[in-house]
Structure formats: C-alpha cells, structure tokens
Amino acid sequence: MKKLCLIIPPIISFLSQNFKFVSCYLLLQTVSSGLNAQTYGCHVRRGMSEILYYTPYGLGSPTEWITTGVIDMSGAEGGYRTDGSATYGCILDIGPSCTVYQYHLMPDGITVGTRIYKNGVYASIHPVNCPIDNYIPLLFIFAASVAFLQLRKKLSVP
C-alpha cells in the first residue's frame, strides 16, 4: 500500500502540469478548425502542377473566371493559387467544365482585349479528407503507446 501512495502523487502532478497545456491546445484546435475559408474557382492541371483560378469573370462561377495581373504582350498570369492542395487543403472538383480568360493588349498596343486562356473544372479548396487523414488513428495509437511505455518506464524505476 505504501508503494501505491508513492506512485499516485507523481502521476497526479504530471497530469496537472500538462492539463493546462492540453486543454489550451484542444481549445485552440477546435476553434481554428472552423476558420478555414472555402474558395471556389476553375481548377486547371498543367503537367505536375495544379492551379485554381479564383477571380470571377462575366457570369462568374461556375463557368467563367479570369487571370489578374499585369497586362502585357507576353500574356501575364495572376489571380490564382498554385498547388492549392499543398497550401490550402485538397482541391475538390465539384462541377462542370469552366473557362479561364485573360486580359491582353491588342496589336495596336492600346486596346485591352480578352482571350480564352485555359479550360478546367469548377472546383473548391475546402478542408476535405486528404489521404494522410486515413492514418491518423494509427498515429494516435503509436503516440499513445510510446507515452504509455515512457510512463511505465519512469514509474518502474525505484
């Protein structure tokens, strides 16, 4: 019984020290999970990269979008997010095909025209389940096992 009294106080003090940290972390995680903004646009795949053009044009979503940026003869590009899945969550195709237009200078060098730039699929950047989400339970089990073994090792040392 005396051993039990010596074991329980370290566990309680360990839990009380980390309780504030864990509760603050869980609160922040819960609050921030709803703050991800959803963005719609025209999802264009170019080689290995994915681009979401998100500036509406004409009738707007879901069929017409436009690049923004410097207007010049070279056909400047802008108003997009590159590799959105790496930065903003997964890009999820949700609708019909769409067209991306681009402003450009006409041959006279003064008049600004519009031309079709790219074709893609109406999509959104929204926090959806990316493939790594399938492994979170395994990561949790692994972390809990390591924590359990560390606590057991600490408590078994005389």
Q: Supply the DSSP symbol for 109.
A: S
Residue spans per domain, the chain: 39-131
CA 36 vs CA 42, 81, 126, 127: distances in Å: 19, 15, 7, 7
Residue 5 pLDDT more than 60? no
From 45-49, 84-88, 151-155, the region with the lowest mean pLDDT: 84-88
pLDDT of residue 142: 92
Q: In the block, which residue shows the tokens 């090792």?
A: 153
Residue 156, CA atoms < 13 Å, CB-side half-sphere: 6
Q: Note the pTM of the prediction, 2 decimals.
A: 0.49
- Residues 97-132: pLDDT tens digits? 988 888 777 778 777 778 888 888 888 876 555 667
- Residues 73-91: pLDDT tens digits? 555 555 565 544 444 557 7
